[in-house]
Chain A
Amino acid sequence: MLNISTSHRTMEYEKCHLFHPDASRPAKRRRIHPRGLHASWPIRRHAYREAWRAHHDQITSTLNHINSATVSDISQFLLEAHQLSHHSRIPTCLVLGGPHATLQNQITQQLAKLDSRHGPRLFASLSPASSTNLKATLKNLIQSATARVDGIQDEDDELATTQTKGRKLLNYDLQILADFAHERNVGQVVVAFEGTEAFDSALLSELIEILASWRDRIPFVCLFNVATSVDFLQQRLSTAAVKCLDGRLFDVAPSAEVVEQVFSIVTDPSSLLWLGPNLAGMTLERQSDYIQSIDTLVDAVQYAYMSCYYANALSIFLIPNITIKTIPTDHFQALRTLKSFRNHAQEMLQDQQTEQLRNLLDSDEALLSFAQQKIDEGRQNLVQMMIAIDVIRTIQTSLPNVTASSRSNLYVQAMAGTLDESALLRSLLLSVRKAPSDTSIALMRSLVNLNIPKTRLTECKTITTELEQLLQDQTPGAQPLRSADDVKNSTLRTTVVAQKVELSKQKSSLSKQDAAYTALLRRLSDLLERYFDETFIPISQLPFHEIFIYDSKSPHREVLTPRPRHAIERALATPHDYLDCDCCAPDQTNDAALSATQPATAVLYQLYLESGNLINACDLWLAFSAVMGEELEEEMRMALFQRGLAELRFLGLVKGTRKRVDHIAKVAWKGL
């Protein structure tokens, strides 16, 4: 009775309702005007929109075009399918998407956008989750095909009249779809199977046979999204079903490729904000470790942009051509406290540039232009880094027996500062030294063709021309020049001198030209080494790197990859972590002591943790009651106990058991 009387007031027992602010509460109309660094948020928000929109547009257009070839192929196939007789097999597209086959939706969407010359096209997509049996599947198919009437909306009224005068059909009767298609002069009904592998084989076979039998009345076309292989699909289908299909294969871009493309957009030279190594590493790892669509990556990048512009007030300095009037003064103060700025100030002091430093500390204007200049320089550094990464990849592709590392992978390493002096780089330079002239000339030419603006690699050009001259001197058709550093080109000799074995390397039959070539190669590799050394500088040395490189895992990880189970277990096992109260603070002696001050459910949960997989409710009650102490009267303790038990059940930590009377079963083990 009590519940019902309160429910009218608070709506908490209502199923759904429109929200109206509680009139009884004092109107909270006072809008707190942001103070401090947060005052610049509206400006930053605008800046965020600009910055992200540039990327976003680029990403969407890339994603739209990444499979445009496939989509146009498929649409061509669909057009051809019109010419087939109605008694032929069902034309079928087998789209090989690989394990990350969630792109399917995009292809279907893109297909839906394309016009058809032969009357409107209906799309029905079937998901394995809602296709438990044939009836349900057919029902879904009909609903999904007839529901999407975006293109042909104005005929709604007509539809209603024809349906009312028609026969009453069961909702899984394909006749409904046939009538629908006939009325609208539908050219094709495309049935897309999402995640073909997850369908029950018998169901799938049966469904295909039924579709085939209706093909003379409904122009079906099937679209299978295959993650494994066509052979596997064929094995799973019955012979009769296979005979009904007339398939053609279509490939979509592998997901790793898509990730790289998106990533290269994110690291575009015009980027205002760059992702730091930790964040980028984490995101990319997640993308490759789990089956996820590309949207996850895009979301992650967007969220990084959002957090940076939202939480980092200094991101206001990222705005190109910002004037001093728009920046609140306290932001300059904050800028001066940056660690990288302080380090830089120290350096300036050591260089005796006291006056400039004084100026920077006193004048906001000077600081602004300085910061803008340094941020620009820093970004340029990163752009150079990306170019150096391209250089590495070019070398890798030119050398035989070396697989090219992915751009994103190299980026993470370069940003983290581990690429310079890494094993990868050293072995790469070694192989450059060993390369024969035909490989190296190709390598050098492609390096020159990279057309790196004002880079430190200008010497590369001279080396290339020298090598070309060297090669011209060679007789045509002769063996390519060999490098003296290659072990293959020297023989080991063992000689016994005074009862000692002496190993000596013999440069076997290396010509003068070979020697000259070796010298050239050494020059090249030294040049490259120097170049990498200069380019891959640790990002922490860049002044104001906190502003244009965003590298915080913190909100990112919690927001995109939550650990709710951990959170709940922690809240119950150590409520102090959340409540931060004085009463439940853990002692130094034993860190997790039960005490009556803890919330009742937390006490109960900790008792629960100590017990085995079956718990006697009576014993649990006695223990709980003892922990809570005599200060509370028994009924109160019982009320708390009951609430705690109900909450544990609600959270899915315990369930009832029939094994023993008054026992409950433990369901969740902490920390699993």
Chain B
Amino acid sequence: MHTRRKASEAFENEEVLTPHRSKRVQLDINNDDDTILAVPSPSLAADSPSKRKSILRAPGTPSKFNGVIGLDGEATPKSLRKVLFSTPTGKRGVLDKPDLVPDDQGTPVADRNDRSARKKSRQALRIQPLMDEESDGDDAVDEAIAREILEDEEVSDSQDETAADTIEVAAAPDTPSKAPRARGRPKGSKNRARTPTPPPEDLPPHELFFFQNRPGTNKTSAHTLPPNALLNHETYFSKIQECLDGHAEDAERLTRIHARGFEQWAFELDEGFNICLYGYGSKRELALSFAEYLHTQGDESKNAAPKIVVVNGYAPGLTLRDILTTLATAALPKNVPLPAQPAAISELVLSVLTVKPPAQPIYLFINSLDHVSLRKPASIALLARLACHHSISLVATCDSPSFPLLFSTSLAQQFRFAYHDATTFAPYTAELEVVEDVNVLLGRSARRLGGKDGVIFVLRSLPENARSLYKLLVEAQLALGDIVPTLGFAFGGANDDDDEDMIGTEDEDAAMNATPSRKPRRGRPAKNQKATLSKKAAASSPPEGVEYRTLYHQAVEQFVCSSEVGFRTLLKEFHDHRMVESRVDATGTERLLVPFAREELEALLEEDGGL
């Protein structure tokens, strides 16, 4: 499967490089000659198998080859859809349907015969200037084409795979049986060959693992999330706070059920067991209410509230030392100097507890014991040593499904956990940085400082003149943005408004980021980028970003810096935090750009003013 796909790709590339291209484009624009040519070919092939072979083997006749598929696509448009949506992603495919149904009417047939998405996008680009010349900046037409390209890309992508399958079917050695049969392929036979075998039902999990991991079957679509689809911090928080949880009551009931176990848990702690809570949902609140329970219990029976230390294992930058010093404040009398090493502190604490055991054990609550920051063998071993002391009672919560693997036999023996399923369905509000985590997961702006908030955070730590320089830069960029549209109309060529421009830059970022399959909206191939860039620069003359020189002079005028060296030093800080990007435009001048959308820039200025 793998090699086959590669072969087909190679084939495509070859096609892309063929000099026929220009001719074919003309054909596309002119009309359906190609299809007419293509129609008889399969029947011919069916007549004489030897010929068919030769046709398929001849790489020099791509048009014919394409014709074969074109016909099939034409004859059974239904089947196409089926293939599209019978990808193993199941429901999702079906749900996508409305978006993905190819718009047959608008596309020239030959265009569809082209299997390469890249090619098609290029065609569209080539058409664009023509259109532009004809209709003066007719946005509607432009958009329509863009939409078409987008849709076609999706279709053709899956068709690529289809094509690959077809090749295999056709290239398979012909059956020697000469039984007369209808001309061409029997109806539906291709369908059968093309549909990927549906995943067998009721596979046991391990079989499913091998089924899904078998080589070459990663058929997922090439869709990408639109750049603005993911919410930023602010929107996320406002939305999630608005959001009503339909299960609040049920979750509440779950918590009540868990709370009924408090007495039992306290008993277990008394008997020298430690408690480990696991299950889906944040268990922080539950642990806290258990702490409260222990607190009140202690009040009644022994006239002194027990000492309870709470550790949040998920807190960034948590160190063992933090835990131990907090524990030491609970365990040791005040003003005892603490040694520097964590191991030494723990020895001190443990020896004091052994010599003078307190009336009530110290309760050590560790939320997210299995968090990455506590996973080092040394940390776990130390915590286990603490936990096995009879004057320390540990109540830990664990989130990951396979946390018991963290504890070796001897560690587990030291921990002496009584485990309780404490599924709460509560959101992990404190444990997670949702927006940031998702960005990291999707490989998005991990390189950029978490958006506007991050920038403000950095700016706060910078000297005054650095802040002023950044402000200058942002203002300049915004001002430039205000001019662009008017200029664009004057030139009659720039139909991107400022906002789109920003998106465009983001896409280019991504493209530069060595992710070739992620396509910018315009769908142009990477190697043509320079050319189009310059073309675009010619068309819409003021490019994004502030000219380096201009900014420097402004900065000097405003007494932000006195020399270019100083200016560079300030800029370097911004570069390091990726708050600014510099690029060279077509004319060779260096430009500086703040890589944020206009709204964010405005918000930044507002916040910055408050600094």
Contact = CB atoms under 8 A, between A and B. Distances in A.
Given A302-B271, A562-B421, A643-B434, A130 B381 contact: yes
A349 interface: no
A626 B95 contact: yes
A18 B310 contact: yes
A612 B220 contact: yes
A494 interface: no
B307 A619 contact: no
A537 to B, nearest CB: 34
A16 B239 contact: no
Interface stretch (B85-93, B523-531, B588-596): B85-93
Contacts of A626: 95
A19 B440 contact: no
A652 interface: yes
A62 B237 CA distance: 60
B557 interface: no
B51 interface: no
Interface stretch (B111-119, B291-299, B498-506): B291-299
Interface stretch (A240-248, A272-280, A538-546, A567-575): A567-575
Given A18-B330, A578-B423, A621-B225, A669 B418 contact: no
B413 A102 contact: yes
Contacts of A653: 401
Q: Which of B204, B237, B437, B440 has the most CB of A within 10 A?
A: B437
Contacts of A594: 91
Contact of A638 (B92, B231, B254): B231
B453 interface: yes
A129 B425 contact: no
Contacts of A627: 95
A306 B272 CA distance: 12
Contact of B295 (A21, A102, A579): A21
A662 B224 contact: yes
Contacts, number: 319
Contact of A12 (B89, B90, B312, B351): B312
Contacts of A19: 288, 291, 295, 308-310, 363, 365
A635 interface: yes
A517 to B, nearest CB: 54
B296 A28 contact: yes
B562 interface: no
Interface stretch (B28-36, B41-49, B167-175, B210-218): B210-218
Interface string A598-620: 01010000010011111111111
A150 B208 CA distance: 56
Contacts of A87: none
Interface stretch (B53-61, B314-322, B482-490): B314-322
Interface stretch (B66-74, B245-253, B576-584): B245-253
Nearest to A583: B246
Interface in A1-24: 1-2, 11-19, 21-22
A654 B421 CA distance: 23
A194 B336 CA distance: 34
Interface string A139-168: 000010001101001000000000000000
Contacts of B329: 18
B585 interface: no
B420 interface: yes
Interface string A529-560: 00000000000000000000000000000111
A670 interface: yes
Nearest to B243: A636
Contact of B92 (A22, A620, A661): A620
A655 B441 contact: yes
Interface string B417-442: 01111010101111111110110111
A651 B280 CA distance: 9
A564 B279 contact: yes
Nearest to B246: A597
A571 B423 contact: yes
Contacts of B280: 567-568, 571-572, 578, 601, 651
B221 interface: yes
Contacts of B433: 646
B334 interface: no
A16 B310 CA distance: 5
A661 B509 CA distance: 13
B377 A662 contact: no
B440 to A, nearest CB: 7
B420 A559 contact: yes
B148 interface: no
B467 interface: no
B240 interface: yes
Contact of B442 (A614, A639, A662): A662
Interface stretch (A229-237, A291-299, A455-463, A470-478): A291-299
Contacts of A228: none
Contacts of A572: 280
Contact of B218 (A130, A614, A655): A614
Contact of B435 (A153, A306, A642, A658): A642
Interface string B133-175: 0000000000000000000000000000000000000000000
Interface residues of B, number: 125
A569 B401 contact: yes
B279 A567 contact: yes
A258 interface: no
A580 interface: yes
A340 interface: no
A663 interface: yes
A595 to B, nearest CB: 11
Contacts of B222: 616, 660
Contacts of B90: 610-611
A125 to B, nearest CB: 11
Contacts of B430: 12-13
Contacts of A35: none
B236 interface: yes
Interface stretch (B10-18, B122-130, B179-187, B402-410): B402-410
A122 interface: no
B96 interface: yes
A434 interface: no
A507 interface: no
B588 to A, nearest CB: 31
A37 to B, nearest CB: 14
Contacts of B344: 143, 147
Given A18-B309, A569-B401, A639-B231, A617 B267 contact: no
A440 B398 CA distance: 60
B230 to A, nearest CB: 6
Contacts of B273: 299, 303
Given A310-B267, A662-B224, A669-B206, A567 B95 contact: no
Contacts of B95: 622-623, 626-627
A672 interface: yes
B237 A645 contact: no
Contacts of B188: none
Interface in B320-340: 322-323, 326, 329-330
Contacts of B89: 610-612, 615-616, 619, 623
A349 B354 CA distance: 61
B92 A635 contact: no
A647 interface: yes
Given A562-B421, A612-B88, A662-B518, A16 B312 contact: yes
26 contacts: A12-B312, A15-B317, A16-B312, A22-B292, A31-B300, A130-B378, A296-B413, A559-B420, A567-B280, A568-B278, A581-B249, A581-B250, A612-B89, A616-B222, A619-B220, A620-B92, A623-B95, A627-B95, A639-B239, A642-B435, A643-B434, A646-B432, A646-B433, A662-B442, A669-B208, A671-B204
Given A16-B311, A666-B212, 11 more contacts: A12-B312, A29-B299, A293-B409, A558-B420, A562-B419, A579-B247, A579-B251, A615-B89, A621-B229, A623-B91, A671-B204
Q: Which 9 A-B pairs have the closest CB atoms?
A: A19-B308, A562-B419, A565-B401, A623-B92, A618-B223, A639-B239, A671-B205, A571-B280, A579-B250
